[in-house]
Amino acid sequence: MSMAEPESSNAPEPAAAQKAPARVEGVGTTPGHVGAGTPLAPQQGHELAAFAAGCFWGVEDTFRQVPGVVATAVGYTGGQTKNPTYETVCSHTTGHAEAVLVEFDPKRVSYETLLNVFFKNHNPTTLNRQGPDVGDQYRSAIFTFSAEQAAKAAAAKAREQTERKKTVVTLIEPVGLFWKAEEYHQQYDEKTGTHSCPLPLGLPDQAT
């Protein structure tokens, strides 16, 4: 399953988004009590992770299918402006990436496995592009919540590089403010019926 999905910068709110969406069973929609750039705090015993890998619709759908992921939301991070919107991010003036915030239970899934899922479900060698989607908001990036996560992300990137002929251009940087995206973007694949059932690549048998 590819994370990259066609997306128009002028995409209107889909009519299907007005209907009650079919949720992935047991996976929530408010990781870390995410809001408009507000402090993030996972539930006790849980941890947070954040990834950018192209259009956030498919990226979120991928991580919602990983056992041990307890909640996800899409949003904007890595930029310089406050209160970014979809339209301003698509104007390439804010510096934000389309990203997915993931809350997970480390007793059920490791951060290393999430990194493996991230790398195996997008092309980390294309700069500011995934498939037909071009722009800095579609960059490959890992936003870390601790020095430990940063070290593990760097190690995963190095391993991925050994498997590819082209340079892995994934950025690794500490997470900044995370701005939850507009509601119609949340769990978009589930709302529109494009949700993919097969489990993503990079699950435990491939994780290190």
Kindly list the domain boundaries of the chain, sorted by start residue: 52-192
How many residues in the chain? 208
- pLDDT over 70 at 82, yes or no: yes
Give this prediction's pTM. 0.85
Cα three-residue angle 61-123-174, rounded to 5 degrees: 75
Mean pLDDT of 55-83: 95
Strand duo 47-53 + 69-77: pairing: unpaired
In this prediction, residue 17 has a pLDDT band, given cuts at 50, 70 and 90, of very low
Report the DSSP beta bridge partners of residue 72. 102
Q: Which residues contact 96 (CB under 8 A, 6 or more apart)?
A: 76, 77, 78, 79, 81, 84, 89, 137, 179
Do the strands 97-104 and 129-130 form a parallel or antiparallel pair, or are they unpaired? unpaired
β-bridge partners, 65: none
Token pair for 138: 């579609």
- Does domain 52-192 fall under CATH 3.30.1060.10? My reply is yes
pLDDT in tens, 132-162: 999 999 999 999 999 999 999 999 999 999 9
- Give catalytic residues, as residue numbers: 55
